[in-house]
Amino acid sequence: MKKVFKNKVVSIGLSFLLTFSLLLSNSASAQAVAGTGTNADTNISQYVQSSSALNENDIIYMVLTDRFYDGDSSNNGTLNVEYRPGNLKYTQGGDWKGLTQKLDYIKNLGVTAIWISPVSENEPLSRDKSESGYHGYFTHDYNKADPHFGSKQDLINLVSTAHSKGLTLVLI
């Protein structure tokens, strides 16, 4: 049990380190991982640059993608495995299509940037199967988009739509 907890702490710590190193080292500040087509399924082959860099005047709204809005029930996972509606230790179905549909709502809150859950593919369940990777911090493959959140094209659409509304996206 202690080892599982230690592994979770290390995993979350590494994810935060990656996040902050990206934020501090990249003047473009917000990049979206966005592969396309055939061979891109296993490689990150394309990046969408933010239309503007973050600065000290930005108001960042942090969204746990899985808990925000389910815009596509086809990517929710398998009932009684990782997708268990109402059991908050497991996936609830929120995704990038849902976020895209709700960008006006988020913008009307008065924010200028959105920080969403990590986008890479997660293990569906923890090692002891007591929870799912709904939060995005059980990264399995950094080169693939998490299928519970949608396809790479869904992520590209989210970024493009956010930019068209003057919103910056912070992705890890």
Collect all residues with Cβ–Cβ distance below 8 Å to 21 and sequence separation of at least 6: none
Indicate whether 75 belongs to the interface with Ca ion (CB under 5 A). yes
Indicate whether 65 belongs to the interface with Ca ion (CB under 5 A). no
Indicate whether 70 belongs to the interface with Ca ion (CB under 5 A). yes
Indicate whether 133 belongs to the interface with Ca ion (CB under 5 A). no
Three-class secondary structure of residue 169 per DSSP? strand
Indicate whether 66 belongs to the interface with Ca ion (CB under 5 A). no
Shortest Å distance, C-beta 22 to Ca ion: 26
Indicate whether 131 belongs to the interface with Ca ion (CB under 5 A). no
Indicate whether 76 belongs to the interface with Ca ion (CB under 5 A). yes
CB 121 within 8 A of CB 95: no
Indicate whether 93 belongs to the interface with Ca ion (CB under 5 A). yes
Shortest Å distance, C-beta 154 to Ca ion: 10
Q: Which of 95, 121, 131, 154 binds Ca ion (CB under 5 A)?
A: 95
Shortest Å distance, C-beta 8 to Ca ion: 24
Cα separation of 10 and 93, whole Å?
A: 26
Shortest Å distance, C-beta 92 to Ca ion: 9
CB 135 within 8 A of CB 155: no
Cα separation of 89 and 80, whole Å?
A: 12
Cα separation of 129 and 77, whole Å?
A: 15
Supply 33's token pair. 């991982």
Three-class secondary structure of residue 148 per DSSP? coil
Supply 165's token pair. 């509304």
Stretch that binds Ca ion, among 56-64, 68-76, 109-117, 122-130 (CB under 5 A): 68-76
Binding site for Ca ion (CB under 5 A): 70, 72, 75-76, 93, 95
